[in-house]
Amino acid sequence: MALTLEIVTPEARVFSDTIDTVVIPTVDGEIGILPGHIPLLTQVQDGELRVTKGTVVSFLAVGGGFAQVSGDKVSILAERAITEDKIDEKAVENAMQRAEQAIKDAKDMDPAEFEHLQNMVRFSGTQLALKRRRR
Amino acid sequence: MASTRDIRRRIKSVKNTRQITKAMELVAASKMKKAQAAALAGRAYAQLMADMLAALATRVDESHHPFLTQREVKTRGVLLISTDKGLCGPLNANLFKLVTDIKTPVKFYVIGRKGAQFIARTKRNMVADFTVSDRAAFSEVKVASEFMVAQFLEGAIDTIEVIYPRFKNTLIQESIVRPVLPLHNLKEFVASVQADTGAVRVPHTDDREMLFEPGANQVLEALLPFYVNRNIYQLVLSAKASEQSARMVAMKTAKDNATKLVGELSLEYNKARQAAITQEILEIAASAFAA
């Protein structure tokens, strides 16, 4: 019995496929899901998500959200998600620098904007860590 | 009969109008494509979130959380999502009809200039108005929804409802009142989300005990505010898609009418010109006979 994994962000359905196992970064640490897992609802943290299908292991960077396991279906609701091959290291680095600079420069910034920038920096960090570690 | 010069002047002005409406139609069409794509892309997300919420709320004691308990409704809180600009057909008028239908005590929160003007002009109780650009970033909408949630928790309002033009397709937008909080009837709510997205999900067949990490209450605490913000954001996206669609259709109708009018006026102009020529020939012939 295989698992179905779907990862949905507000912009798109990033991932949808049958898989063997998945490891999800949660607020309590990583959780590995195998077929037959009991129903689970958990909070997802920024980090890397590991998907195994056959002998192929693929990685995704995800940021903030929730994960649900029900039957043999794993659904992940993420604020941000990107597959490893789509990460553009240069672009991410630049974006991260820009966001950090903006945080430094701004004194009395709108809290919503500030939170957004902080999230961006954190997610950029996740993406870079994922890309570099795999080389 | 109007003089040829008058008719010529009118043809020119109608042509100008046609040019303007045509340009506006094209602008609206391109904005519409973007807005529709955004509204449609968010649907899978909204659906999944409703799904999770349903799974969670049936398994925890819901009476403790203020978002889930039904309290006596003294003052309704209504968020009206209107447009900033006019020229979008009957879109705003339909929304305002729903507003005037509300007879119970109510506080209004408004997105969009047109709605704010209407509420102010009819001297209704408006608490705040917010502006959201055409791009409709999440952070813009979050300000409004968080403000309403704060008021809801304080007890200033007892419900959160949204009046907005729901986007069905390019030609059809229906104005509806959508309850957001409290979430006391989950079945109805999940059904309404399904009707919105048009997708029927298989209900949970897994009836084993559900595990919550770190804990049911923590997950609920995190998911509920998140859900309210996202849900309202999704409604704003839908409203934006409706606005651009309505504007495009209105402008297309205006352009078509202008084209028809130019045709009719040209016909009249040609008739007038022909009549003038005939008249002149008759006069010349008559004077030749007389001579």
**d(Cα B231, Cα B251) in Å, to the nearest integer?**
30
Q: pLDDT grade, residue A124 (50/70/90)? A: confident
Q: pLDDT grade, residue A135 (50/70/90)? A: low
Tell me what pLDDT residue B188 has. 66
Mutate to test the interface with B, among A69, A77, A79, A114 (most CBs of B within 10 A): A77
**d(Cα B233, Cα B237) in Å, to the nearest integer?**
6
Q: Which chain A residue lies closest to B205 (C-alpha atoms)?
A: A71
- Listed residue (A80, A129, A126, A124) closest to A102, CA to CA: A124
Q: Tell whether B281 is covered by a domain.
A: no
Q: In this complex, do B45 and A39 lie within 8 Å of one another by their Cβ atoms?
A: no
Q: How far is CA B123 from the centre of its chain?
A: 22
Q: In this complex, do A113 and B139 lie within 8 Å of one another by their Cβ atoms?
A: yes
Q: Identify the residue with better confidence: A63 or B11.
A: B11
Q: Tell whether B205 is covered by a domain.
A: no
Q: Which residues of B260-285 are buried (b: 16+ CB within 10 A; e: fewer)?
A: ebbeebeebbeebeeeeeeeeeeeee
- Listed residue (B150, B153, B148, B109) closest to B131, CA to CA: B109
On whether any CB of chain B is under 8 Å from the CB of A35, the answer is no
A92-98's contacts with Cβ under 8 Å and 24+ in sequence apart are: A92/A124, A92/A127, A92/A128, A92/A131, A93/A124, A93/A128, A95/A120, A95/A124, A96/A120, A96/A121, A96/A124, A96/A125, A96/A128
Query: What mean pLDDT comes out for the span A72-76?
Result: 90
**d(Cα A26, Cα B232) in Å, to the nearest integer?**
26
pLDDT at residue A110 above 80?
Answer: no
- Listed residue (B167, B171, B191) closest to B179, CA to CA: B191
**d(Cα A123, Cα B252) in Å, to the nearest integer?**
44
Mutate to test the interface with B, among A6, A37, A70 (most CBs of B within 10 A): A70
Query: What mean pLDDT comes out for the span B261-282?
Result: 94
Q: Tell whether B254 is covered by a domain.
A: no
Residues 6+ apart with CB under 8 A from B235: B81, B162, B164, B178
On whether any CB of chain B is under 8 Å from the CB of A1, the answer is no
Domain boundaries, chain A: 3-85, 88-133
Residue that is written with structure tokens 């295989």 in the block: A2
Q: Tell whether B218 is covered by a domain.
A: yes
Exposed, middle or buried by CB within 10 Å (0-12, 13-18, 19+), for A80? buried
Shortest Cα distance from B133 to chain A (angstroms)?
15
User: Using the 8-state DSSP alphabet, how is residue B228 labeled?
Assistant: H
pLDDT per residue as tens digits for the range B186-214: 666 666 666 666 555 555 556 677 888 78
Q: Tell whether B108 is covered by a domain.
A: yes
pLDDT per residue as tens digits for the range B1-45: 568 899 999 999 999 999 999 999 999 999 999 999 988 888 888
* One-letter amino acid for residue B146 of the chain: E
Tell me what pLDDT residue B61 has. 66
How many domains is chain B partitioned into structurally?
A: 1
Q: Which chain A residue lies closest to B55 (C-alpha atoms)?
A: A41
H/E stretch holding A57 reads strand A56-70
* One-letter amino acid for residue B58 of the chain: T
pLDDT at residue B59 above 80?
Answer: no
Tell me what pLDDT residue B220 has. 82
pLDDT per residue as tens digits for the range B60-79: 765 677 887 778 888 999 99
Residue that is written with structure tokens 């990583």 in the block: A30
| CA B221 vs CA B12, B37, B64, B130, B214: distances in Å | 64, 31, 11, 26, 11
pLDDT per residue as tens digits for the range B114-173: 999 999 999 999 999 898 888 888 878 888 998 999 999 998 999 999 999 999 888 889
Instruction: For chain A, give the mean pLDDT.
Output: 85
Tell me what pLDDT residue B196 has. 65
pLDDT at residue B263 above 90?
Answer: yes
Q: In this complex, do A27 and B49 lie within 8 Å of one another by their Cβ atoms?
A: no
How many CB atoms lie under 10 A from the CB of residue A17?
13
Domain encompassing residue B155: 25-200+210-247
Q: In this complex, do B210 and A38 lie within 8 Å of one another by their Cβ atoms?
A: yes
Contacts of B204 in chain A (CB under 8 A): 39, 70-71
Tell me what pLDDT residue B208 has. 73
Contacts of B34 in chain A (CB under 8 A): none
On whether any CB of chain B is under 8 Å from the CB of A52, the answer is no
pTM higher than 0.95 for the full model? no
Shortest Cα distance from A88 to chain B (angstroms)?
23
How many CB atoms lie under 10 A from the CB of residue B106?
17
Q: Which chain B residue lies closest to A8 (C-alpha atoms)?
A: B45
Query: What mean pLDDT comes out for the span B101-113?
Result: 92
Q: Phi first, then psi: what are they for B114, rounded to 5°?
A: -60, -40
How large is the ipTM?
0.79
Query: What mean pLDDT comes out for the span A45-74?
Result: 89
**d(Cα B50, Cα B193) in Å, to the nearest integer?**
7
| CA A14 vs CA A77, A80, B124, B133: distances in Å | 10, 9, 45, 27
Q: Which chain B residue lies closest to A42 (C-alpha atoms)?
A: B213
CATH number at residue B52: 3.40.1380.10
H/E stretch holding A75 reads strand A73-83
Query: Is the CB of residue B13 less than 8 Å from the CB of residue B257?
Result: no
Contacts of B138 in chain A (CB under 8 A): 10
Residues 26-85 of B with CB under 8 A from A: 41-42, 44-45, 48-49, 51-52, 55-56
Q: Which CATH fold would you assign to the domain A3-85?
A: ATP Synthase; domain 1 (2.60.15)
Q: Tell whether B282 is covered by a domain.
A: no
Question: What is the number of CB-based contacts under 8 A between chain A and chain B?
Answer: 81
Q: Tell whether B8 is covered by a domain.
A: no
**d(Cα B156, Cα A60) in Å, to the nearest integer?**
44
pLDDT per residue as tens digits for the range A81-109: 888 888 888 888 888 888 888 888 876 76
Query: What mean pLDDT comes out for the span B236-244?
Result: 93
Tell me what pLDDT residue B185 has. 63
Q: Tell whether B215 is covered by a domain.
A: yes
